[in-house]
Structure 1
Amino acid sequence: MRSLAETLRGQFERLVEEGPRMAREAREVSITESSRDGLVKVTVDARGSLLALDLDPRIYRRPDARSLAESILETIRRATDAAQERVLDIFEPAVSRDDMRLHLQGTPDQVVEDVEDRLNRREGL
């Protein structure tokens, strides 16, 4: 039990010290990926929200809406996965990758709040 409390305290202290910088870095993440055929290029933010979509004019040479849609979605998924991995990398010095994965549904600032809440509950505050 003490070991867990010490681990949480260490996480909390690192987050207090480095949390604002980490959250800022995470908010600034953007990842650009291209489709395998190079006809689709997407840029997403840290949460996977689409920031940019570029379609090469060559898509009109062989019009296939279904194939194009699948290519766009697959490229967005790859970009989103890469963005989430980058966020995990940013927070890894202070938060385990598994814990951080649980927080990716929320905002980076919520990680700091959650660790603080868990630490306070463990100490009975």
Structure 2
Amino acid sequence: MDESWRLLEQLVQEVNQQTEQLKKMQEKVGELSATASSKDGMVTVTVGPRGEVRTIDFDPRVYRKLSPSELSAVIVQQIERATSEVSAGMKELMEPFVPDLPFDDLFGEGTDFASFLPQPSTPEPRDPRP
């Protein structure tokens, strides 16, 4: 019985360690953010861990230098860059816990949420003959 009890205690200790590591990882994920600035420094964007835009900062001269469509394109570009950086950070944090997770397939560019949903199907007609 002593050996069994020792193995159980060891197992509980391992589970507690892993739980603590997961809590720390979750905290780090919650703190993830990335900031991207345009080459000329006119637009700076910061995104959070889920890619949500937290701030967009403009150099006051941006309105004289860029047209509305150019400004829009620069903003989108910086959001994409910052989101990509956050995604890389997320992958780095999660990989030790789920090394076989196809992270790029699940969260990479071109990922379509609908592809993870069950697809509708039409039942095949059955042959009434036995």
Shorter-chain TM-score tier: 0.5 to 0.7
- For the residues of structure 1 that align with 2:100 and 2:38, how far apart are their CA atoms? 27
Shift of 1:97: 6.7
What corresponds to 2:51 in structure 1?
Answer: 48
Using a 3 Å threshold, how does the CA distance of structure 1 residues 81 and 17 change in structure 2: closer, same or farther? same
What is the correspondence of 1:1-125 to structure 2 with a 5 Å cutoff?
Answer: 16-96=19-99, 98-101=101-104, 104=107
Alpha carbons 2:95, 2:101 under 8 Å: kept? no
- Counterpart amino acid of 2:91? L
TM-score computed with the length of structure 2 as normaliser: 0.62
- For the residues of structure 1 that align with 2:87 and 2:95, how far apart are their CA atoms? 12
- For the residues of structure 1 that align with 2:74 and 2:103, how far apart are their CA atoms? 29
Q: CA RMSD in A?
A: 2.6
Give unpaired runs (5+ residues) of structure 2.
Answer: 1-14, 109-130
Percent identity over the alignment is 32
Using a 3 Å threshold, how does the CA distance of structure 1 residues 48 and 30 change in structure 2: closer, same or farther? same
- Counterpart amino acid of 1:16? T
- For the residues of structure 2 that align with 1:22 and 1:33, how far apart are their CA atoms? 24
What secondary structure, in the 3-state scheme, does the structure 2 residue paired with 1:76 have? Answer: helix
Shift of 1:87: 0.8
TM-score computed with the length of structure 1 as normaliser: 0.65
Q: Which has the higher contact order (CA 8 A, sep 6+)?
A: 1
Using a 3 Å threshold, how does the CA distance of structure 1 residues 70 and 14 change in structure 2: closer, same or farther? farther
Using a 3 Å threshold, how does the CA distance of structure 1 residues 77 and 13 change in structure 2: closer, same or farther? farther
Larger Rg over CA atoms: 2
What secondary structure, in the 3-state scheme, does the structure 2 residue paired with 1:46 have? Answer: coil
What secondary structure, in the 3-state scheme, does the structure 1 residue paired with 2:65 have? Answer: coil
Higher mean C-alpha displacement, 14-23 vs 66-75: 14-23
Using a 3 Å threshold, how does the CA distance of structure 1 residues 13 and 77 change in structure 2: closer, same or farther? farther
- Counterpart amino acid of 2:94? F
- For the residues of structure 2 that align with 1:44 and 1:97, how far apart are their CA atoms? 27
Alpha carbons 1:91, 1:100 under 8 Å: kept? no
